Amino acid sequence: MTPNNGVDIEATIGTPVRSVARGRVDYTSEDYGAYGQMIILNHGDGFFTLYGHLSEIEVAVGQEVSPGQEIARSGDSGSLKGPGLHFEVRKGGSPLNPEDWHAAAHDAEHSLEPLVCWLRHARPDLEIVPIIVPAARFERLEELGGHLGAALEDELRARGWRLGQDVAIAISADGIHYGPDFKQLAFGPGGLAAYDQAVARDHGLLTGPLRGALTIAKIRSLYATFVDPDHPDDYRWTWCGRFSVPLGLLTLERLARTAGGATGHPVAYGTSVGWPELGLRDIGMAPTAPSNLYHFVGYPGAAFTVAATRR
């Protein structure tokens, strides 16, 4: 922790800075003393996040931002430690430990979907370690997946654990987000024909690169389907797991090599308009976005098995 109750994250000047949660821009400054260029986001219920030492501010006061949206670029304005990002979380006027809040927010935010919540409810005895995946080029994700897979392999060996029995990799992500507010109009503005074509394309991913022997080539093709490889911030096919799916699969591919490899099996597919609504309104949960043929989300499911396990 720093004296001003935040964390300092090393980053080269110009690195994209993203909102950690949905919110509204309450304040920006081009020069706020030791904070330099700064943004404050209001996330509701008294929670605020602060982003300092910026080189460029890309949002305006009053603007609504979504989780993971780029809001600025990192810099060294006001910093005595060199280039980086200063990040704070506050509840009202009281500082919070960003690491604690980040993990809690990760459980509920769109970037992880509700998977952790459901898993924690179903198996409270298991430890769940959430990993937030950064926006990155494929080569960087491949490097991260190699490191993570090797580290997990060492831990499994040291503890005598088996992949798929004692440890599992869960990748939480929706499929296609279709509609004008998602900037996804590949098959027109919407309607039944667009819906059928979008669902068919998602089915093609489930029965194509997500099926059969897991390979680096298949994972790379998924990545290039989701985003422009040369400009990863630019969507092609709007799966919110555009980075989490490749990194999770790259980690699994690395981890499963010594066990004979991993094999993908399509399990299910639904959409926000193709299945009945869950009966949760009586506990205060209700839709937060329209769900119709002009604004819908896909829910793909696939399971991966490992050929053999070794202690």
Question: Quick one: pLDDT at residue 38?
Answer: 95
| Number of domains making up the chain | 2
Task: Say yes or no: 138 and 73 in one domain.
Answer: no
CATH number of the structural domain spanning residue 100: 2.70.70.10
CA dihedral sign, ordered 183, 185, 189, 194? negative
Task: Say yes or no: 11 and 67 in one domain.
Answer: yes
Task: Say yes or no: 263 and 174 in one domain.
Answer: yes
In angstroms, rounded to a whole number, what is the distance separating the alpha carbons of residues 107 and 105? 5
Residue that terminates a domain, selected from 58, 82, 104: 104
Task: Say yes or no: 226 and 119 in one domain.
Answer: yes
Residue 110 counted as domain residue:
no
Question: Quick one: pLDDT at residue 110?
Answer: 41
Task: Say yes or no: 165 and 272 in one domain.
Answer: yes
Question: Quick one: pLDDT at residue 310?
Answer: 43
**Residue-by-residue pLDDT tens, the chain, 311 positions:** 334 578 888 888 999 998 887 789 999 999 888 899 999 999 887 888 999 999 999 999 999 998 778 999 999 887 777 888 999 988 877 888 775 554 444 433 344 456 777 777 778 888 888 887 878 899 999 999 999 999 999 999 999 999 988 999 998 888 999 999 888 999 999 999 999 999 999 999 999 999 999 999 999 999 999 999 999 989 999 998 899 999 999 999 999 998 889 999 999 998 988 766 666 666 666 566 678 899 999 989 999 999 864 44
Residue 2 counted as domain residue:
no
Question: Quick one: pLDDT at residue 283?
Answer: 64
Residue 109 counted as domain residue:
no
Task: Say yes or no: 49 and 152 in one domain.
Answer: no
Residue 159 counted as domain residue:
yes
Environment class of 80 (CB within 10 Å of its CB; exposed 0-12, middle 13-18, buried 19+): exposed
Cα separation values, 156 from 124, 194, 262, Å = 21, 46, 17
Task: Say yes or no: 79 and 180 in one domain.
Answer: no
Task: Say yes or no: 49 and 130 in one domain.
Answer: no
In angstroms, rounded to a whole number, what is the distance separating the alpha carbons of residues 201 and 219? 16
Residue 85 counted as domain residue:
yes
Task: Say yes or no: 71 and 218 in one domain.
Answer: no
Residue that terminates a domain, selected from 104, 123, 156: 104
Query: Which structural domain, as residue segments, surrounds residue 63?
Result: 7-104
Residue 126 counted as domain residue:
yes
Residue 1 counted as domain residue:
no
Task: Say yes or no: 48 and 139 in one domain.
Answer: no
In angstroms, rounded to a whole number, what is the distance separating the alpha carbons of residues 252 and 152? 10
Q: Which residues make Cβ contacts (< 8 Å) with residue 174, sequence separation at least 6?
A: 113, 239, 240, 241, 297, 298, 299
Task: Say yes or no: 86 and 182 in one domain.
Answer: no
Question: Quick one: pLDDT at residue 280?
Answer: 62
- Is the distance from CB of 17 to CB of 25 less than 8 angstroms? no
Question: Quick one: pLDDT at residue 196?
Answer: 96
Residue that terminates a domain, selected from 74, 104, 134: 104
Residue 221 counted as domain residue:
yes
Task: Say yes or no: 170 and 271 in one domain.
Answer: yes
